[in-house]
Amino acid sequence: MPSPIDFWFDYSSPYGYLASERIEAVAARHDRAVVWHPMLLGAVFKVTGERPLIDAPLKGEYSLMDIRRSAREHGIAFAMPELFPIGAVAASRATLWLRDHEDAARAARAVPLIHALYRAYWRDGRDISTPSSVLDIAADTGVERAELEAALGERSVKDALRAEVDSSIDRGVFGSPSFAVDGELFWGHDRLEMLERWLASGSW
Applying CB under 8 A, which part among 18-26, 124-132, 154-162, 180-188 lies near a copy of itself? Answer: 180-188
Q: Cα separation of 85 and 16, whole Å? A: 13
Distances (CA, A) of 53 to 66, 96, 117, 200: 12, 25, 21, 31
Binding mask 37-56 for a copy of itself (x = CB under 8 A): -------x--xxxx-----x
The amino acid sitting at 8 is W
Q: Tell whether residue 191 is a contact of a copy of itself (CB under 8 A).
A: yes
Answer for which of 62, 83, 150, 167 binds a copy of itself (CB under 8 A) is: 62
Answer for which of 1, 58, 104, 200 binds a copy of itself (CB under 8 A) is: 58
Residue 117 near residue 90, CB atoms below 8 Å: no
Answer for which of 31, 57, 82, 155 binds a copy of itself (CB under 8 A) is: 57
- Measured from the CB of residue 108, what is the shortest distance to a copy of itself in angstroms? 33
Answer for which of 3, 25, 28, 69 binds a copy of itself (CB under 8 A) is: 69
> Which candidate, 70, 82, 90, 91, places its Cα nearest to that of 19?
70
Q: Which is nearer to a copy of itself, 3 or 48 (CB)?
A: 48
Residue 186 near residue 168, CB atoms below 8 Å: no
Backbone conformation region of residue 9, classed left if phi is above 0, alpha if psi is from -120 to 50, else beta: beta
3-class SS of residue 193: helix
Strand partners, 34: 5
Q: Tell whether residue 185 is a contact of a copy of itself (CB under 8 A).
A: yes
Tell me which residues touch a copy of itself (CB under 8 A).
44, 47-50, 56-59, 61-62, 65-66, 69, 72-73, 169, 172-175, 184-185, 187-188, 190-191, 193-194, 197, 204
